[in-house]
Amino acid sequence: MKNKKIVFVMVTLVLMLALAPALTACGTGSTEGKTLKVGMTTPSSGPAAEKGAPMGHANLDAFEYINNELGGVKGYQVEVIWLDNAYDASKVATNVKRFMDEGAILFGTASSAMMSASMEIANRAEFPGIASFNAPILHRPPEHIYGQMPDYGDDWAAFARYYMDNIWEGTGKPRMALHLLNNSTGYGARDAAKAAADELGIEIISIDEHKADTQSEMDSLTRIKASNPDVLYISSTPAPTALILKNAYELGMYPGVTIGLGHAGITKALVDIAGADITEGVYGVFPTVNWGDNVSGMAKMTEYVRKLHPKDEGNMDYITSWAQSLIFAEVLRVAVENAGYDALVKGNVDSWRAVETQGIQKLKDYDVGGLHGPVSYTAGDNRLSKSVRIFQIKGGAITPITDWIEAPLVKYEQFDWFAK
Amino acid sequence: MSLPCGTRNYSYAEDMAILRTKTHWVFFIGFLALLYASPLYLGNYWLGVVNLIGITLVAATGLNILVGYCGQLSIGHAGFIALGAYTSAIVTNRMELPFLVGLIAAGLVAGVVGLIFGLPSIRVKGFYLAITTIAAQFIILWVINHWDSVTGGFVGIRAPYPSIAGFEFRTETSQFFLITTVAVITVFFAKNLARTRVGRAFIAVRDNDLAAEVMGINLLFYKLLAFFIGCFMAGIAGSLLAHWIGFINAEHFSLKESILYIGMIIIGGLGTTVGPIFGVVLIRLLQQTLTVQVVPFLEGTFDMMPSGFATGITPMLFGLVIILFLILEPRGLAHRWALFKAAYRLWPFSY
Amino acid sequence: MAELLQYIITGLSVGMVYALIALGFALIWKSSSVANLALGQIVLISSWVTYATLAQAQFPVWLAFPLVILFALLLGWSIERFALRPLIAQPILALITVTLGIGYFIEGLVNFIWPWSVDALPRLFPREVVHIGPAVISQEYLWVVGICLMVFLLLTLFFRYHKMGIAMRATADDQMAVQACGIPVTKVFSRSWMFACVVAAIGGVLISSIGGITHGLVETGLKAFSVVILGGLDSFIGAMVAGPIIGLLETLGGGYLTPIIGWGGVKDIIPFVIIIVVMILKPYGLFGEVRIERI
């Protein structure tokens, strides 16, 4: 008899434990009130936290600005479900499912790798998403994932075009060597070069790869130097880029060849590590403005960063994510105008279709407070902003030398070698 | 209805049984019923977490057979999972063969490659073998990243929905049944493996391989078999993972993951069958709780904290958990569970 | 031909960097048979502390470096005292895993204190390059080679002639006998960890002055494993010889094999392939001591 009681108690405990998730799942009932829900996930902890944490801050700060000062979107407050993904693919997969469960109608990610982990789930369910850092695999062929900014392939294409138009003075094809980081940052540039170099009239003489922790690239640069390049394009992060520049300087290659950098590399950290003397005259591509530039959205962003996250001032990724939230608000505004609030609040596949067709795809010339290139949707092209500016390092300062240039569209899926 | 407090078996079959009394059977079937009924009350998100736990469990069980039962230290498990994931994706995506072919092929490819990289285990053990497996992981990932034409290189590769005999596993619930069934079969296999001749040979090799060889156990065969089985399961887990996420990239399979798997089986308890279950559930739930509950909470309430607090807390906590478990409970949670069961059986004489 | 000379010179100098880190590893293995898989992270945190003293607190060099050494001593002592002392007689899996856990923990700590992942040390060495025939080498690398040789010399002399060094060798051989002789084994372990962390810290400072402080310092720690495997886990001379060999193979491979194979990044995989080859051919390395196992 004692046994029976004990067994009964244990069974009850087990059942309670098993049902507990159900209780919490029911517990997060939507707060009634007219809101629109969006989901945001950033790698705020883990290996990419240095970029992800300010981006998460910026997303939330911008929505606070939109909700408090602008009265939300057309009077409706925007409720942000923010989740950290710790740069882990399986976690991002569960995050997206949670967004869909909780009735979000749009979601955003910070890194392209995280979006690549969630895009299949989102595409299959027709749940639209906007990735702030873009990559060709996310939006070619175009489905329900949109890229906020130009990707590393676009960087290369824009720089290549600028180089052909403004710097190259010889006859025939200039000889370009690529030096790539061993991940999608570097290989994004390679894919663009493979697809578009012939069209632009450039000859790619060598493609080299390096790791993020490389100690010396003297070997690859010696080989490159022996083939007499005219221009070297490095698509990488600041530390290895600095190392390559130092090695190129030591070998006597630079000053000499023209050097161009992708937007992951041309940051203040690069100038700090390599030194202003070595980086003098290096070109680079960047898709957003700088802190302190005179554009309409700068004042509010600076005010909020100083109020809420003063340590993030000066961080370029903060600008990107602030702009991402502004774009979200604009998408919602256009969608509410065209499709109506009631269609959107349902939070199911109909709302998602409405947000996409009546919101994202109706974006036209939205200037994002001037923080980056203008945002417009063109059919067949899921990149929202396609423009970058060319910069050059002069005296240790990264100065812009052009206005917004549009990066040409490359239809990667036409090529056999592009991943399906 | 009583639980056994001593050993009183009347037949050989009774002695060898895993579940020995009616109460055991009731609990076991009740647990299975609860597990399979969970789609009824868990939302998509929690079902996804359970799926992730199931996939991780398959891989961790394989690692447990390799490290816990056979004593071959392997810190490159994520590489074999990656191999399984990519094989399955390539087979179903590029070669357009059915999912079951992909699943089995994933296990076989991972098993064979594991066998090849396990060859050094004949000559070395302990730390040397661990470094070899780390090198193996890096080589596997490097080949995956660079063999563009087959694997999609750095960009990654898509994996379509799994489908068996025409039925496509589109929803989280259907994937749950698939993954849970595979996990149950795997755990059942591991439990029985430990009770057969092969399992006993593994344990002998782990405890003292020289003595085992002297006793007549063929070291070459059994060590390679352990590698094969362990990596076969990793391959199966990888295949399930690829089709669950839908898109895989070599970045998902880093050295950190391998270290986490070692941590899981140690925290759970090496060399037991329930050990991996405890370890996997604990670590995955800890991860989910940290990212979903703790970090937003900390970010929200502690604006004054240095901005590195939330970002650094997760690795610090995990490292601390691993270290503390090793110092305080080196035999893992399974040991605690066994103590609890023994105490319960003998109560009130459990001293 | 000029290229070959450049490859050789670069390879040798890069290899010395690896050798320096490998010395720290060999030190711990030689005295306590513990494999320190947290080496990369120790290098990382030492570099960050150097940054903190030099750039953040703006101490002058003669004050900053002793502080870094002090920090490394403290780090080694606390790792040994709190994480390894409780696990003295445990099987090797537990020890390796605890160092893995420590590595994880240190990485989190680094993230916690310095949340930005890349930074630069102020310039410590002059910028001009030295020309050796048609090849060039930067002065930083010459300093690295010099300091590495000095550390190696100090360590070898210490282990051969100093009382504590001899005690460390004895402990690695047979702990029980050493305890019976009255030598405090715990103190031996403590000292060896402290020294190893100091060596790793020196390595870290040198590396980060060349390439900046990034998370990649951890991966460089992994490359040091290939050096110790090739050279022999418990041999200093092995580390000094194997380091340049691996650096040389890397650079030559990167220079000549990459166009042949067609895939980029051949250079990165060479150390790991070497590990596998050494394991199959000569598991104990070039200079390692062959352990004969008895039942």
**Closest partner residue to C280 among B119, B317, B319, by Cβ?**
B119
Q: For the segment A228-245, what is each residue's pLDDT rounded down to a tens digit?
A: 899 999 988 888 888 899
Q: CA distances (Å), B318 to each of A33, A244, C235, in order?
A: 39, 35, 33
Question: What is the structure's pLDDT at A26?
Answer: 38
> Residue C76: beta bridge partners?
none
Where is pLDDT greater, at A403 or B299? A403
**Does the model's ipTM exceed the 0.95 cut?**
no
Question: What is the structure's pLDDT at B298?
Answer: 67
Question: What is the structure's pLDDT at A10?
Answer: 53
C83/C214 Cα distance (integer angstroms): 26
Best probe of the B interface among A88, A94, A184, A207, by most B CBs < 10 A, is A94
A335/A300 Cα distance (integer angstroms): 25
A19/B27 Cα distance (integer angstroms): 17
Question: What is the structure's pLDDT at A419?
Answer: 60
At B82, give phi and psi (nearest 5°): -60, -40
At C12, give phi and psi (nearest 5°): -65, -45
The mean per-residue pLDDT over the stretch A323-331 comes to 91
B331/A43 Cα distance (integer angstroms): 34
C46/C42 Cα distance (integer angstroms): 6
- Using an 8 Å Cβ cutoff, are C249 and C267 in contact? no
Question: What is the structure's pLDDT at A47?
Answer: 67
**Closest partner residue to A183 among B43, B251, B308, by Cβ?**
B251
Rg (CA), chain A: 24
Q: How far is C113 from chain B (nearest CA, A)?
A: 6
Q: Would the pLDDT of A29 be above 50? A: no
Q: Which of B248, B245, B210, B275 shows the shortest CA–CA distance to B63? A: B275
Percent of chain A exceeding pLDDT 70 equals: 90
Domain with CATH 3.40.50.2300 in chain A: 35-150+294-385, 153-286+390-414
Question: What is the structure's pLDDT at B2?
Answer: 57
CATH for B42-346?
1.10.3470
Residues in chain A with CB shorter than 8 Å from the CB of C10 are 216, 218-219
Contact A311 B307 (CB under 8 A): yes
Is the link from the previous residue into C60 a cis peptide, with omega within 30 of 0?
no
CA atoms within 13 A on the CB side of A194: 15
**Closest partner residue to B73 among C93, C108, C283, by Cβ?**
C93
- What are the residue boundaries of the structural domains of chain C, listed by start? 20-224
Q: For the segment B89-115, what is each residue's pLDDT rounded down to a tens digit?
A: 999 988 888 889 999 999 999 999 999
A91/A68 Cα distance (integer angstroms): 31
Q: Would the pLDDT of A19 be above 50? A: no
Band the pLDDT of A30: cuts 50, 70, 90. Answer: very low
Going by C-beta distance under 8 Å and a sequence separation of 6 or more, which residues neighbour residue A122? A96, A107, A128, A129, A144, A145
Question: What is the structure's pLDDT at A308?
Answer: 84
Residues in chain A with CB shorter than 8 Å from the CB of B312 are 45, 49
Amino acid, single-letter form, for residue B190: A
Q: CA distances (Å), C166 to each of A220, C20, C172, in order?
A: 45, 22, 10
Per DSSP, A29 falls in state P
Residues in chain B with CB shorter than 8 Å from the CB of C119 are none
Q: Would the pLDDT of B306 be above 60? A: no
Let me know the angle formed at the C-alpha of A71 by A66 and A74, rounded to the nearest 5 degrees. Answer: 100
Instruction: Count the Cβ atoms, other than its own, within 10 Å of residue A251.
Output: 19
A383/A135 Cα distance (integer angstroms): 10
- Using an 8 Å Cβ cutoff, are A297 and A70 in contact? no
Closest residue in chain B to residue A10, using alpha carbons only:
B27
Q: Is C247 exposed, middle or buried (0-12, 13-18, 19+ CB in 10 A)?
A: buried
C278/B113 Cα distance (integer angstroms): 19
| Pairing of β A283-286 and β A175-181 | unpaired
Is the link from the previous residue into A229 a cis peptide, with omega within 30 of 0?
no
Q: Which of A395-409, B225-239, B311-325 has the lowest mean pLDDT?
A: B311-325
* Helices marked H in C33-125: 39-51, 61-78, 92-113
Q: For the segment C231-283, what is each residue's pLDDT rounded down to a tens digit?
A: 888 888 888 899 999 999 988 888 888 777 777 778 888 889 998 888 888 88
Residue found under tokens 């680094």:
C110
Residues in chain B with CB shorter than 8 Å from the CB of A11 are 30
Best probe of the B interface among C104, C111, C219, by most B CBs < 10 A, is C104
Closest residue in chain A to residue B40, using alpha carbons only:
A22
B193/B174 Cα distance (integer angstroms): 29
Highest-confidence range of A209-223, A264-278, B73-87, by mean pLDDT? B73-87
Domain A153-286+390-414, classified CATH 3.40.50.2300, yes or no: yes
Q: How far is A280 from chain C (nearest CA, A)?
A: 15
Contact A184 B154 (CB under 8 A): yes
Q: Which of residues 208-237 of C touch B (CB under 8 A)?
A: 222, 225-226, 229, 233
Q: Would the pLDDT of B269 be above 50? A: yes
CA end-to-end distance (rounded Å), chain B? 24
Contact B313 A45 (CB under 8 A): yes
- Using an 8 Å Cβ cutoff, are A241 and C211 in contact? no
* Average pLDDT of the residues of chain A: 82
Homologous superfamily of A35-150+294-385 in CATH?
Answer: Response regulator (3.40.50.2300)
Q: How far is B225 from chain C (nearest CA, A)?
A: 19
Question: What is the structure's pLDDT at B104?
Answer: 94
B101/A116 Cα distance (integer angstroms): 25
Per DSSP, A359 falls in state I
C293/B208 Cα distance (integer angstroms): 11
Quick check: helix, strand or coil at residue C228? Answer: helix
C29/A229 Cα distance (integer angstroms): 48
Where is pLDDT greater, at A274 or B114? B114
Question: What is the structure's pLDDT at C51?
Answer: 86
Highest-confidence range of A79-88, B272-281, B310-319, C34-43, by mean pLDDT? B272-281
Q: Would the pLDDT of A39 be above 80? A: yes
Band the pLDDT of B236: cuts 50, 70, 90. Answer: very high
A:B CB pairs within 8 Å: 154
C259/A224 Cα distance (integer angstroms): 11
Q: How far is A278 from chain B (nearest CA, A)?
A: 31
Q: How far is A156 from chain C (nearest CA, A)?
A: 19
Q: For the segment A65-111, what is each residue's pLDDT rounded down to a tens digit?
A: 998 888 888 888 888 988 888 777 888 888 888 888 888 899 999 88
Residues in chain B with CB shorter than 8 Å from the CB of A124 are 161, 170, 246
Let me know the angle formed at the C-alpha of A95 by A93 and A101, rounded to the nearest 5 degrees. Answer: 110
Quick check: helix, strand or coil at residue B65? Answer: helix
Contact B307 A89 (CB under 8 A): no
Q: How far is B219 from chain C (nearest CA, A)?
A: 15
Chain B neighbours, 3+ Cβ pairs < 8 A: A, C
